[in-house]
Amino acid sequence: MQPEGAANTSAPPLQTHAAKDPMADIIRWMNLGIDIEEYQLRIQTFIREMGRRVQRGDPAKLESDRRNLLTMIDTFLEDASTYMGDLVIGHDNSTSITLDIAGGNNTDVIWDSELHADSDMAKEYQEEQSDAAQIQPERRTIGLPSAFGRNECKMQGLGPLITIEMELRKGQAHDAIQKLREYIGKKSVLYRTDVRHAKHSQHKSDAARQRVDAQTAKINIYRLYYNRAREAMLSLAKKPSKVKEYKLLTLQDLTASTSLLNPSERGNRHRGLPWLWSLDIDKALGDDEDSQILQQFARLHWLRARCRLDRCREELTLLRHEMVWIPNSWDAESRLWQRRVDNSDAKSPGHKAFARRRQDDAVALRDGAISDFRLLLSEYPPPQRLNLHTYKDDIYLQS
């Protein structure tokens, strides 16, 4: 079981490799690497919290966590060369790789075994290794296939490992999103049941805020888990479009709201649920027993989105027709005054002059409307996918 909060930085149990199935050993080894990365994120979050407020026992806890993390990293590196071949950080390879874990850039100088031990390059490497040893374990790069990228792994013949890690990273992302949904829901409930009812008591208010802060810490750590899994998938994917449904999680996506989302209210027409609520995790995991609550969310969200789409299509259709109706109405007005000019029963030349002036005004308004609408359509063309219906004699379709 993975720890749920940022404050819980205990190490997951080390995994053994007693299974005879090689594929099971690879999966177990990669799971250990993913656990190490999550442990690194928890320690970095803990250090950030210590920067704001240090409590008694925090330094000792940090050192204990770092020792546990070093033990896990050593266990991971024991089997790294077995599965990754020469593509191992800190072992036989001649490439210098700069990687970013949780916002920190670590440069791992990778040793070429063909260099002579007494050469100047070997001495430089030993000095760099001693410098690398000073890097804290939570900042070290874990040598999974995603750390090297798809192209480098393909060159080393590690295609099966790319597929395995991609599936594991998807599972990591799905687990993180599922936990985020759960904790955001709990946080919203706490606002309604605890925070609002503790307004008149300082003690109860502080206790309620602490419970809310605990949920916020869990939300933040699982956001880091998800974003790390997304970065790994982007590194392993053949094309970024293959993982386009996994968007970057921002703090705005994780807002816990206690108000009902009513599209009929002012300002809510174009509001909707964040994308993580519409991601079908059960379908992605192959589970047919979908959550009934999420099904209701998806159906309601789809119906509201469909209503907004139909409303936009209707408004665009009417607007496009009005762009034809307005010039036609002024054209009809100009013909009306032309008939009055040509009417032999006109009472006086003044009547004919007035009619000609009104005819000229109507023609000017017609031509002005056509030019303005044509310019507007050239700058903001209507979406073709909406299949808008216009008149066959649409003047704007004529060049």
297 close to 280: Cβ distance less than 8 angstroms: no
147 close to 228: Cβ distance less than 8 angstroms: no
Q: Would you state the pLDDT for residue 393?
A: 53
DSSP 139: G
d(CA 321, CA 52) in angstroms, rounded, equals: 62
Q: What does pTM read for this prediction?
A: 0.57
For the chain, 399 residues long, give each residue's pLDDT as a single digit of tens. Answer: 444 444 455 555 555 444 457 788 889 999 999 999 999 999 998 888 887 777 777 888 888 999 999 999 989 988 888 888 777 665 433 333 333 334 433 333 333 333 344 445 445 544 544 444 467 888 888 889 988 888 888 888 888 898 899 999 999 998 898 888 888 888 877 877 777 666 777 777 778 777 888 888 888 899 999 999 999 999 898 888 888 888 888 777 777 665 555 556 666 555 566 777 767 655 554 444 555 666 666 777 788 788 888 888 888 888 888 888 999 999 999 999 988 888 766 667 888 888 889 999 999 999 999 899 888 888 888 777 665 555 555 655 454
The continuous run of DSSP H or E covering 103 comes out as none
The continuous run of DSSP H or E covering 85 comes out as none
Dump the DSSP string for 22-54: HHHHHHHHHHHHHHHHHHHHHHHHHHHHHHH--
Number of Cβ within 10 Å of residue 166's Cβ equals 21
Cβ contacts of residue 395 below 8 Å, gap of 6+?
Answer: 324, 327, 370
Cβ contacts of residue 327 below 8 Å, gap of 6+?
Answer: 366, 369, 370, 373, 395
Q: Would you state the pLDDT for residue 4?
A: 47
Q: Would you state the pLDDT for residue 102?
A: 40
